[in-house]
A and B are shown apart, each in its own frame.
Chain A
């Protein structure tokens, strides 16, 4: 029993020391230039699950906890906006069982996220669901709207959950809205890229320009995600780690690369 007590005490001390060291590292990073907007393509949940002999559903659940962990890291770094590719419109092609499991997970975690004391409340994060929301099941849409309403007044940071989303759908919606606006205002001038930009779902959610896009699992494609937003002045970081395994040590070089870019740009001005 004494041994158990010593072991658990040492474990607690180790966890505390690790947490303190991580906070110190984040404080050091925050002393330099920090990206305003980071996006994640959370790829590799299923391959992660298969590699560990788990069910795919567990892979997605572990992926959600990684998103929470990375969101907390970003907040401590003073990142203003985090966007995550939760569900693509193309993902509806997956097996009905997996789609239902993903929708169940989305509903459950949306409720969990906006609980009192949970991460959104703790850090003052406004949640926005970005995408073709009318494609969501009624229960998920209700959970999304509830989460958005509960966090509407939070202003420290924004979390964009892109679901169900594709960038071409977003760009087309922005083009449609811009055309509609010109017709309603009887505006004969030519449509500009700035007008389309202002009608993008991410812009309407108040997101700043995208600085870094991270895709995990080794895939080097954008897969119809934030194509307009990352076409210029955005660093694309492709990590070979599966998303549920993605952590601070994968993320630190990404922040260092960003800071090197900003300093290089400032030195040429």
Chain B
């Protein structure tokens, strides 16, 4: 009778597959609200995990990722999301950070030549270069604070607006402005900061932060010998490093997007090595059912989308809006 269990299991899986196909066919097709629709809660920081299709070529996956990030950055600006973290495990986006920066900057360059309808006339200085993927080194000989290698690239770029706003924090030499009357001032639109992360920004970054603290303890103890009572890092100190200037803050919402594959049915979410420190309170969204057709369609690339679908982004915002937030209480 030892054959009965495997046969029963095979039958269960066949039945389950039928259920998944049924659920895919009759999945909810309710249209999510537009990106700029009124919502009671909009995340200020969105994380976007991209999982490539292992059956597609490297270059194809790379273009898919770049196209998707470019679109998501534009949608973030429309939705008023000021921070975007993009993550792929293998670091494809990190390797293409220069191309990505050009793609993200391209819309704002064309806006700089647009005529401003308001009385403020501002020229934005060049966007600061991405932060260094720095080796561990002290800020200064006397600060005693080592910079750990957190492997996060940061891109900051101007807002997508035809009404340029005052930015007092930018270098004054590049700014030419006239003061506008108080009643015609419009609220500032946020910058979009894009953090590019990969598997190297994950557990390795926590280890790098630990190594930096170890170096500082040794330095404070005057050399190799351990101080009598070492000041070990607290949660707050570790957080200050990992979410600080060389890391990235915790996102409020995360979209896990697997590039669709033919025949892909429902699968549970996974985090693909996303930095664990920052996922503490993050709302996780993923599409349970792949947008492409199931197994009976052929896998010609022309039938497969070249980037993420806007519907998925809008659905994630709607889900975040309806989520109940309780921190321990």
Contact = CB atoms under 8 A, between A and B. Distances in A.
Q: Do A and B come from one complex?
A: yes
Contacts of A27: 5
A224 B280 contact: yes
A188 B5 CA distance: 54
B13 A231 contact: no
Contacts of B319: 220
A186 B226 CA distance: 8
Q: Is the interface of A mostly helix, strand, loop or mixed?
A: helix
Nearest to A233: B270
Interface in B202-252: 202-204, 206-211, 213-214, 217-218, 224-226, 230, 232-235, 238-239
A30 B5 contact: yes
A90 B328 contact: yes
A256 B16 contact: yes
Interface residues of A, number: 62
Q: Report the interface size class on chain B.
A: 35 or more
A193 to B, nearest CB: 4
A237 B268 contact: yes
Given A175-B238, A190-B211, A93 B206 contact: no
Contact of A168 (B211, B213, B239, B274): B239
Given A191-B211, A261-B267, A172 B274 contact: no
Contacts of A252: 12
B327 to A, nearest CB: 6
Contact of B276 (A94, A223, A227, A256): A227
B277 A227 contact: yes
A36 interface: no
Contact of A196 (B207, B233, B273, B324): B207
Contacts of A92: 328
A241 interface: no
A76 interface: no
A221 B284 contact: yes
A135 to B, nearest CB: 13
A167 B328 contact: no
A31 interface: yes
Interface string A180-201: 1011101010111101110000
A127 B273 CA distance: 29
B143 interface: no
B275 interface: yes
Contacts of B283: 220-221
Contact of B268 (A93, A94, A224, A235): A235
A16 interface: no
Given A168-B235, A179-B230, A31 B210 contact: no
A182 B204 CA distance: 17
Given A172-B238, A231-B275, A179 B213 contact: yes
B271 interface: yes
Contacts of B267: 257, 260-261
A180 B210 CA distance: 11
Contacts of B284: 220-222, 236, 238
A221 B5 contact: no
Contact of A228 (B203, B210, B224, B282): B203
Interface in B278-310: 279-285
B16 to A, nearest CB: 5
A75 interface: no
Contacts of B275: 231
Contacts of B285: 220
B271 A28 contact: no
B323 interface: yes
Interface in A23-70: 24, 27-32
15 contacts: A28-B8, A31-B6, A168-B277, A168-B280, A175-B238, A179-B233, A191-B211, A196-B206, A221-B283, A222-B281, A227-B277, A227-B279, A227-B280, A231-B273, A253-B16
6 residue pairs, one from A and one from B, having the closest CB atoms: A90-B328, A183-B226, A28-B8, A193-B203, A31-B5, A231-B276
Interface of A: 24, 27-32, 88-94, 167-169, 171-172, 175-176, 178-180, 182-184, 186, 188, 190-193, 195-197, 219-224, 227-228, 230-238, 252-254, 256-257, 259-261, 268
